[in-house]
């Protein structure tokens, strides 16, 4: 079993608030900075941004659906 599979197994795919998921990826900075950094990661990854758009996510939404979370971890790895 690869390290990614182990990490993915420990990460629960469910609905996450935007800030909640951002804090998962950036636990050691302020929530505001974590959200900004996470948004930058999403928008700078054109493939991920396109997939999230197809899954009905747009800037300003306060949550991610489980399908959107799955797309995120497939492109960014689990937090």
Distance CA 61, CA 71 (A): 16
The tens digit of pLDDT for each residue in 41-54 reads 999 999 999 999 99
Tell me phi and psi for residue 16, to 5 degrees: -125, 145
Under 8 Å between Cβ of 11 and 25: no
Average pLDDT over residues 25-43: 96
pLDDT band at 33 (very low <50, low <70, confident <90, very high): very high
């Amino acid at each position: 079993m690869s390290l990614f599979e182990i990490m993915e197994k420990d990460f629960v795919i469910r609905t996450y608030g935007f800030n909640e998921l951002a804090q998962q990826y950036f636990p050691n900075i302020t929530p505001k900075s974590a959200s900004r950094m996470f948004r930058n990661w999403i928008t700078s990854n054109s493939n991920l941004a396109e997939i999230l758009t197809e899954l009905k996510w747009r800037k300003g939404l306060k949550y991610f659906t489980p399908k959107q979370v799955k797309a995120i971890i497939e492109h960014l790895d689990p937090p």
